[in-house]
Amino acid sequence: MKAQTVYKLLAIALVVALLASCAPPPTPQVVEKVVTQVVTVKETVPVEVTVKETVMVQSPPEVVEITSTPLPPKPEVEPVSVRTNWLYYGSHSPFFLGKEKGIYLDNYLDVAVKQGNGSGNVVKLVANKDSTFGYVSAAALINQVAQGAPVIAVATIDAAGTDAVLCNPDSGIATIKDLEGKTILTTAGAGVNAFWPVVVKNAGLDEGKIKLTNVAEAALVSSYLQGLAPCILGGIDDKPAEIEANGGKTPTIFAYSDFGVAQPGYVIVAHTDTVKEKPDMVRRFVEATLKSFKAAQADPDSSVKAMADFFGPEQFDEKSIEQAKKVLAVTLSILYSQSNKDKILGWNSEEDFASALDLFKKYKELQTDMPPSAFFTNEFVPKTLP
């Protein structure tokens, strides 16, 4: 063979290599293969020629071990209830917004919103396990927990107290001292009653000259408007709007906070057994409730509409809706205490609970060695909402 033959063999080897490279083996591996061939350069002189081929060889099949971790089963939708402190008003509308938007359902909760009859009564209902959660005044919570009620705050909503004395501007009452010799209406079990003695003492009033009369909660504003008394004890978050909506003049307001009453406003409470036995459920409820209040901040009109739609026009006409909007606006303006430096929605401030507890001890002669932290837990309040 001549030199051309060598080149031909090299070309053939290259073609073979190219064809091999086009083959579709599953896991190809490139290697060099040394091939020694005997060729004859001249007819009488055989020589050995070493040719290097680049070929594709099939690698052994690779064994892939697949492991998987099964996802935990989704919790079943759990029925729970939350009882409001009072007849339904604007501050309660985020609960209904959470129901309408599916926020609670996304957290596997079927929430029934029930009407209350004063914060003190609602704390008792939660303590008796009639209701899973309650929306109550912090004052009512502290008063009853110190006396042994197995209830604890799991989130703060109204971070500043809204308690006040509300008086008819036509009554001639212009200063707090003018309350002496007058009748004030309130409701038995209402949280606003708790620190009334503090206001009396700090304002220098003669309690014996003031008549405090209990009426049914549904009759409180109507009795006031009928002139049965010139003043009521109530929250500035709901009562001024209710008075105006029913034809009354904007009341003269003596806020408790102006007379040394510093306290959290309204909190979400649960039974201590519920906290211990169903922490995941409590966490889901708190998170969904805070999401609902955050959604109400973003769209307060939709929050009020959700409550109005739930009950229908028989209970929520246009006048009631406008009243609810005013009430909700007050609540949404006090979601964060000044001591809540990080602005965490729902955060229970130990400083604020300590202040309220000191008031009870100093002015209500409350006997307890319980620290402020015994009345609340931040275990279920997320630092940030997803």
* Residue 46 scores a pLDDT above 70: no
User: Which pLDDT score is estimated for 189?
Assistant: 81
Tokens of 137: 């005044």
239 vs 217, more confident: 239
Residue 43 has pLDDT above 50, yes or no: no
Instruction: Read off the pLDDT of residues 260-299 as tens digits, 9 standing for 90 and up.
Output: 888 899 999 999 999 999 999 999 999 999 999 999 999 9
Residue 305 pLDDT > 50, yes or no? yes
* C-beta atoms surrounding 26 within 10 Å: 8
Residue 267 phi/psi, 5° resolution? -130, 160
Contact 178, 170 (CB under 8 A): no
Neighbour count for residue 70 (Cβ, 10 Å): 5
Please name which of 138, 148, 257 lies closest in space to residue 194, comparing C-alpha atoms: 138
Question: What CA–CA distance (Å, rounded) separates 273 from 283?
Answer: 14
Name the pTM for this structure: 0.74
Q: Which domains does the chain have, with CATH numbers?
A: 3-58 (no CATH), 78-161+263-375 (3.40.190.10), 163-259 (3.40.190.10)
More confidently predicted of 26 and 119:
119
Report how far residue 80's alpha carbon sits from residue 77's, in angstroms, rounded to the nearest whole number. Answer: 10
Quote the pLDDT of residue 41: 45
pLDDT bucket at 18, cuts 50 / 70 / 90? low
Q: Would you give the distance in Å from CA 215 to the centre of its chain?
A: 34
pLDDT of residue 31: 47
pLDDT band (50, 70, 90) for residue 3:
low
